[in-house]
Structure 1
Amino acid sequence: MLNCRACLWRCIRPLTAAPQSQRFRRNAIAAPFTGQQRFLRTPRLETRKEEGRLKDLGEVEKLSRTKREPWSRSKQAIDQKQRARATLRWRPAGNIETDREVVRTDMWWGKRDPRMPTKDWNARRRELQYLKDPLEVAAFVKRGLGKDKVTEMLQLVRMASHSMQCIVSWNHIMDYYLAKERMSEAMKVYNEMKKRAQFPDSFTYTILLRGLSINAHHSGALSQAISIYHSMSAPNSRVKPTIIHTNAVLRVCARALDMDALWAIAAKIPEAGPGAANAITYTTILNAIRQSLIADVPIGENEQEVAARRERGIVEGRRIWEDIISKWRNADLVIEEELVCSMGRLLLIGSRPRDWDDVLSLIEQTMDIPRLVPRLGSIARKEAGLPPLLAPHTPAEYKFDDDHLSPGRGPTRGDEFLALTTQGVGSKTSNPLTYATPGNNTLSIVLEACQKVVANKAADEYWNMLTDPTTYDIVPDVNNLNQRLRLLRQNRASAAALRTLKDDFLAKGNIPRNGTFRIAMSTCVRDKNNHNSLRDASEILHLMQTTLPDADAKAVTMYADLALTFPLAKGEDLVGALTYLQPITNNIRLQLGVGGERKYGNGVGAVYLTGEERQDAIYALRKVHAVYDRLLLSNMIAEERKGPFKAERARLSAFIQRVNHKGTFGEKKLEMAKEGLGNRAIDVRNEEANKGSERGGNGGWRGGRERSERDRERKPEGWRARNVLSEEKRRPWFSSLGASDSA
């Protein structure tokens, strides 16, 4: 169809006798003959006007042709114009659908809830007048929830639900409640949504199940998640569950450590189709098996029962892995690093050395990274001259494989992790497998597996290969470096541990943690027969002092143990160790007295040590006191040099005694103060300590001596002074505590 006039004229031009007579405009006058056509353009100023000149008209005619006529300015004309415009704007009630546009003034917001104030009702109505469709309502609700206006947004969605489907807005409100750990309010909104004929969609159930998974620690989360999932599977359900919903409910079961519910849901997963299991499904199941083995431990279980229970979990994981590999070979599943590492960490908690060794085969199978150490029990391992694994914490029946005792001739243990071969003949067949890409998680499990199978040389080769920029270019994080320190501890390499702290941590901006210094210090303790181990430990202690805000008590305890048990220690070595320990000891005393630098509330401040941390700090001071004893009770230094060390030991001993006798009562008072004052109790304790020091208390020996002299000069007054016993007959009030402590 020709819509353009130029195209139409071009098509009919050969069919007409006078093509020049065709018109391009509707109001153009046709020129049927050639003589009537204009071939020259007449300028606009020379064109004659159709109407006559205004100077030849009368005054009335002139006014009638202009806007200055009296009628146009009269009241009647203005009134008629307004009525005409109102008539044109008016639309009948039955003709609303012709515009495809909802008129806000005709929407019904329902009756006002008596519990809702009139002011809020009017405010919501004014807001809804400018929201044309559910999309704008959902965007407005999301912005309001970002400002924590959940009550106002809930009122608005309730009113809007009378005239439109606001499912997305209801989803935003449930998501807000679940993110704030208000699970009961979210379920109330979900039930109210269904009562108001707002039918939940797939995203609604996804938000609910994922919200319940992050709130699995609340009571009733598991039962509600299973109830919602089963309601989706009902025949009359509008939304059928997908693998996304299945993964969410499996996550809830895994976090609740309910393996029966998890297996019941996993048994209903189809083998193929849109609802088939994916990599996230298998990762969730494998992590749930591992967590149930190490977290859900029965009380009073011995080593044999622990090993048997872990063996059953490992067997279940191996069967699942066979299904994973089968789907991977058929291109029905994508192998990812998270899935591989979940299976690897499940194998690492196994009881058999074969489980630990299979981690390296797993990495070779799924990531195409060759094994750098022969398989356990293979001929190549014997030819390499590697020693057998001792596995001191493994029961005797699990140290060796017993597959040869099975009645059948099925595949042996570990064959499910063998590298897959390409199916086809010749070199023209391409490899259809897509391998996973290794990352920091892979590097951690490889190093841990090498540690368990005592493959130190292979661990270094794996480290160099995975961190090489030309191969995999993995940048080690703090967890990788900590695992490398554990390997160095196994090798008794104290110098390498110190070099790792300097080069890999501090030089590259990785902030070491308290556990990092504990691993490094335990490496020096394990390497105590090395004559440089105490010097390396002293440098590690100095790095801890300059890096951490407060000294770690356990690391200080290890250093003091090394100084006590160092077989090659001399007097100067102990003097140097005590010199390093002097500022550390003052820091620990500060943590015990006032409080160390810790995070609480919204900032960082002094937090009073309590519980196990306080006992660790006191134990560290006792170990330091033992180092003083070893130096002073021996002949390693001259007697004239022992004076300052005796004075420091006396001050440390007095502080330990004071903490031991007053620590229990102080903690009880602090707990009572915290109940009434909260964090203000710490400030109150600090103020009392400052007042005590000003009065000559804990460190004010001069003020105490002056006060005792004044007490002697004062005459006995009152009934206490008249009935007081002599000093030899008095019983100290802390005698029972001192006796128990000495015992």
Structure 2
Amino acid sequence: MLNCRACLWRCIEALDAPATNIRRLRCDVNPIFLPAQQRRLQSTSREVVRKEPWRPRHQSEVDKRSRNKNEPFEKSGFAANQKKLERAALRQSTAGRAVDTPNLANLGRRDPTISDTDWRNRKNELRYLQDPLDLARFVKDELRKGKVNEMGQLVRMASHSMNCIVSWNHLIDHYLAQERVGDALKVYNDMKKRAQFPDSYTYTILLRGLSINAHMSGVLSKALSVYHSLYAPNSRVEPSIIHTNATLRVCARAMDMDALWGVAAKIPEKGPQSANEVTYLTIINAIRQNILVNAPKGETEDEAAARRERGIMEGRRLWEDIVARWRNADLRIDEELVCAMGRLLLVGTRPRDWDDVLSLVEQTMDIPRLVPRLGTVERRQAGLPQIRAPNTPAHLRRDDDHLGVDNPPMRGDEFLALMPHGVGAAVSNPLSYVRPSNNTLSMVQEACQKIVANKAAQEYWEMLTDPTTYNIAPDVNNLHMRLRNLRLNRASSAALALLQEEMMDKGIQPKPGTFRIALSTCVRDKNNHNSLNNASKILQVMLKTLEDADPKGVSMYAELALTFPLAKGTDLVNALTILFPIVKSIRMQLGVGGGTASGRPGAAYLKGEERQDAISALRKVYAVYDKLLLSNMLPEEQKAPFKEERARLSSFIQRVVFKDKEQGRDWGNRSKQVDVDMKEYSEDADLHSYLKDDGSERGLSHSRGGRDGRSARRLRQEESSEPKSVNLDARGGS
């Protein structure tokens, strides 16, 4: 049997088994080979036990090329396309087909205005936005990028399968912030049509958005329509005081007091919908705005005073309700509400209204009055000056309304200090008093200014700014109000000290208005021999602080130099020395200007009212030259440089006015007045008379009588004896 090659091969093939199979044989079976023989079989080489594949010795050419990679089929485009399709099929089978999420099951009827691309993009976005919170966040982020139309499509498609009210709110909020009120209301109506019922936040966003766009036509009616829909029987949202406050704000900005009181009439006295501090603040500010702005045409002074009186009485009655609720702990008041009531009283016409501001501060902030109440015995014994109220009618200057037939309460009782509750004040009910800040400081200073309480204003200032008490750091508005009190008291030295110590030393940047108030204080204090010196120091501070000198401030300084009764030649020379660089700066601003549209530093070109202020300032500076040259304050040999500078200034003024007139620039009524003044200016005298042979004795006449042969020597004698008689009308001063 072993002589046959096939039989021998089958026997050897049966013995050719891996070692693992040998180990798996049952232990009770005798092995065919010994271990040494098994190792010998395992290490048998491949050439001995492996069968080589059979290949014919002689292959055809087709067989050779079919087994090679260079065969024609492999190089053909058909095979390449087939491999490409095969790879795509493998990728598709690996990735798997996208399964539609539950929110894509119902997308509603497709909007024909949406293109196929947009539809597919919105559908792919919704596949990963299955939660309403994720959708709202995504919509809000994309709206910030300006994708408004895309997010509108996305929210409308998502509304068929989920509740996405927050996303609708984001759309409404975005449109209102962009002043697109019509689009916001369309979204609001579309939201309701798609069964996305608005919630409380929707109405809050809508009403507040309408309040910031109250300047547009028809906004008030739309806001009232939305607000009244909350009280409809089928309304799903319960109205709150937040909705009421937003509606009141729309009415206040639209200056419709009838609509405001109609909304306020629906506010309950108690409960969660009752008025809070924001409600009262909105109403009080609306009353004040209506008094100041919404005045009927052709109103007389008595009618205006009566209208203000009605507004003040409405505010007083409102404050009685506020104090009653505050005392019962039903309302919390803050500084903004207190100051709103105080500023309403300050626009009143009665001195009693102004005086009650200090009582208001004492009632709500526990700050004692530093000046006795108006009409009391202590007030008369204090020797305070009489309050002058020139704009108040005579019948409103008396506080005797409580003596009438109706016997109303005495005016001012609404702001009396509250007494603590309890038996014998042993058990008190402490009130949460308001802590004052900068707003209160300005209000108190203005009240002291109106009631002419200069000493009390200083004491209030020291008490409120003291670090050991309230530690209020004054801001620019506080300092302006303090400067006005100093101006009323003619305290130019104190104004200079306040400007240097409270502003410059503490790093507060003054404004042009700051220097105007300070310089006007010096003008009011012109009888003080230090007033001109103080004004010079204030002007030097202005030159170091502001980029360009303020023309109105320069005009005030020149006016002080003209009207200063104790002025000497050296004083006027010092004033002109300080004014010399300022005049050069103003001339540049009137001429060509150094600043450009690129923002490079330089003098800004003046236009309009600022240009006329600058011309007026130059005319008053010219008048200062006249006062120095046409008097005996300066020796004749020292007048030559001042005459030259006056000539240059006169020529420049004439040239600027002539060019403005030739170019047809209409700067308003003030421009016409300047032209009239300059015409009288040229008719009264020869502007260049000092260039003639007798120029040292002939100057600019101050009246038409100067053309009748009156000598310059006689004129100088009259001016030296009567320094206040200089006529400044021809020079733009007064």
TM-score band by shorter chain is 0.7 to 0.9
Counterpart of 1:632?
629
> How far apart are the structure 2 equivalents of 1:604 and 1:644?
31
- State the SS of the aligned residue for 2:423: coil
1:494·1:527 contact (CA, 8 Å) conserved in 2? yes
Counterpart of 1:547?
545
Structure 1 residues 417, 564: closer, same or farther in 2, change over 3 A?
A: same
Structure 1 residues 670, 182: closer, same or farther in 2, change over 3 A?
A: farther
Residue in structure 1 matching 2:195, options 186, 197, 207: 197
1:593·1:608 contact (CA, 8 Å) conserved in 2? yes
Residue in structure 1 matching 2:24, options 45, 49, 57: 57
Map 1:663-682 → 2, pairs under 5 A: 663-666=660-663, 668=665
Residue in structure 2 matching 1:374, options 356, 372, 375: 372
Residue in structure 2 matching 1:524, options 513, 522, 525: 522
How far did 1:90 drift?
Answer: 12
The AA in structure 1 aligned to 2:609 is: E
The AA in structure 1 aligned to 2:624 is: V
How far did 1:330 drift?
Answer: 1.4
Residue in structure 2 matching 1:131, options 99, 104, 129: 129
Cα displacement string for residues 129-167 of structure 1 (whole angstroms, at most 9, x for unaligned residues):
221211111111111122222222222222222221221
> How far apart are the structure 2 equivalents of 1:505 and 1:514?
13
> How far apart are the structure 1 equivalents of 2:631 and 2:337?
59
1:365·1:419 contact (CA, 8 Å) conserved in 2? yes
> How far apart are the structure 2 equivalents of 1:601 and 1:167?
48
> How far apart are the structure 2 equivalents of 1:454 and 1:232?
51
Counterpart of 2:281?
283
- State the SS of the aligned residue for 1:431: coil
Q: Which runs of 5+ in 2 are unaligned?
A: 1-19, 27-92, 669-729
1:610·1:667 contact (CA, 8 Å) conserved in 2? no
> How far apart are the structure 2 equivalents of 1:303 and 1:248?
34
Cα displacement string for residues 82-126 of structure 1 (whole angstroms, at most 9, x for unaligned residues):
xxxx9xx999x9xxxxxxxx9357433344433333323222222
Counterpart of 1:224?
222
2:493·2:531 contact (CA, 8 Å) conserved in 1? yes
Counterpart of 1:653?
650
How far did 1:453 drift?
Answer: 0.9
Q: Does residue 1:619 correspond to 2:611, yes or no?
A: no
Q: Which moved more, 1:104-113 or 1:196-205?
A: 104-113
Counterpart of 1:316?
314
1:489·1:523 contact (CA, 8 Å) conserved in 2? yes
How far did 1:741 drift?
Answer: 13
Cα displacement string for residues 54-94 of structure 1 (whole angstroms, at most 9, x for unaligned residues):
974269xxxxxxxxxxxxxxxxxxxxxxxxxx9xx999x9x
Counterpart of 2:35?
none
Counterpart of 2:61?
none
> How far apart are the structure 1 equivalents of 2:233 and 2:641?
86
Counterpart of 1:423?
421
> How far apart are the structure 2 equivalents of 1:194 and 1:664?
63
The AA in structure 2 aligned to 1:622 is: R
2:519·2:538 contact (CA, 8 Å) conserved in 1? yes
The AA in structure 2 aligned to 1:646 is: K
Counterpart of 1:347?
345
Q: Which moved more, 1:472-481 or 1:403-412?
A: 403-412
> How far apart are the structure 1 equivalents of 2:234 and 2:175?
28
Counterpart of 2:7?
none
Structure 1 residues 604, 581: closer, same or farther in 2, change over 3 A?
A: closer
> How far apart are the structure 1 equivalents of 2:193 and 2:482?
58
How far did 1:435 drift?
Answer: 1.2
Residue in structure 2 matching 1:644, options 641, 645, 648: 641
Counterpart of 1:261?
259
Q: Does residue 1:400 correspond to 2:398, yes or no?
A: yes
> How far apart are the structure 2 equivalents of 1:670 and 1:293?
31
- State the SS of the aligned residue for 1:300: coil
> How far apart are the structure 1 equivalents of 2:591 and 2:366?
57
How far did 1:410 drift?
Answer: 4.2
How far did 1:273 drift?
Answer: 0.9
How far did 1:602 drift?
Answer: 9.5
Residue in structure 1 matching 2:465, options 464, 467, 484: 467
> How far apart are the structure 2 equivalents of 1:229 and 1:419?
39
Q: Which runs of 5+ in 1 are unaligned?
A: 1-52, 60-85, 94-101, 672-739
Cα displacement string for residues 386-424 of structure 1 (whole angstroms, at most 9, x for unaligned residues):
233222332222222123531244421101110110121
- State the SS of the aligned residue for 1:421: coil
Cα displacement string for residues 204-250 of structure 1 (whole angstroms, at most 9, x for unaligned residues):
11111111111111112212111111112211112132111111111
2:335·2:434 contact (CA, 8 Å) conserved in 1? yes
Map 1:721-732 → 2, pairs under 5 A: none
Cα displacement string for residues 490-538 of structure 1 (whole angstroms, at most 9, x for unaligned residues):
1111111111111111111211111111111100000000111111111
How far did 1:188 drift?
Answer: 2.1
Map 1:470-619 → 2, pairs under 5 A: 470-595=468-593, 608-619=605-616
Q: Does residue 1:662 correspond to 2:659, yes or no?
A: yes
How far did 1:475 drift?
Answer: 1.1
1:175·1:207 contact (CA, 8 Å) conserved in 2? yes
2:623·2:731 contact (CA, 8 Å) conserved in 1? no
The AA in structure 2 aligned to 1:486 is: R
> How far apart are the structure 2 equivalents of 1:741 and 1:375?
47
Cα displacement string for residues 576-607 of structure 1 (whole angstroms, at most 9, x for unaligned residues):
11111122222222222334769x99998875
> How far apart are the structure 2 equivalents of 1:670 and 1:433?
57
Cα displacement string for residues 16-52 of structure 1 (whole angstroms, at most 9, x for unaligned residues):
xxxxxxxxxxxxxxxxxxxxxxxxxxxxxxxxxxxxx
Counterpart of 1:177?
175
Determine what percentage of the aligned residue pairs are the same residue. Answer: 66
Q: What TM-score results when the alignment is normalised by the length of structure 1?
A: 0.74
Counterpart of 1:702?
none
Structure 1 residues 604, 294: closer, same or farther in 2, change over 3 A?
A: farther
2:103·2:162 contact (CA, 8 Å) conserved in 1? no
> How far apart are the structure 2 equivalents of 1:251 and 1:219?
16
Structure 1 residues 279, 635: closer, same or farther in 2, change over 3 A?
A: same
How far did 1:655 drift?
Answer: 1.9
Residue in structure 2 matching 1:186, options 181, 184, 187: 184
How far did 1:288 drift?
Answer: 0.5
> How far apart are the structure 2 equivalents of 1:637 and 1:327?
73
1:550·1:597 contact (CA, 8 Å) conserved in 2? no
How far did 1:358 drift?
Answer: 0.5
1:596·1:609 contact (CA, 8 Å) conserved in 2? no
> How far apart are the structure 1 equivalents of 2:345 and 2:542?
35
How far did 1:554 drift?
Answer: 1.2
Map 1:26-37 → 2, pairs under 5 A: none
Q: Does residue 1:146 correspond to 2:113, yes or no?
A: no
Structure 1 residues 427, 318: closer, same or farther in 2, change over 3 A?
A: closer
Structure 1 residues 414, 604: closer, same or farther in 2, change over 3 A?
A: farther
> How far apart are the structure 2 equivalents of 1:588 and 1:597?
13
Counterpart of 2:433?
435
How far did 1:468 drift?
Answer: 1.4
Structure 1 residues 670, 189: closer, same or farther in 2, change over 3 A?
A: farther
Structure 1 residues 520, 365: closer, same or farther in 2, change over 3 A?
A: same
> How far apart are the structure 2 equivalents of 1:634 and 1:250?
66
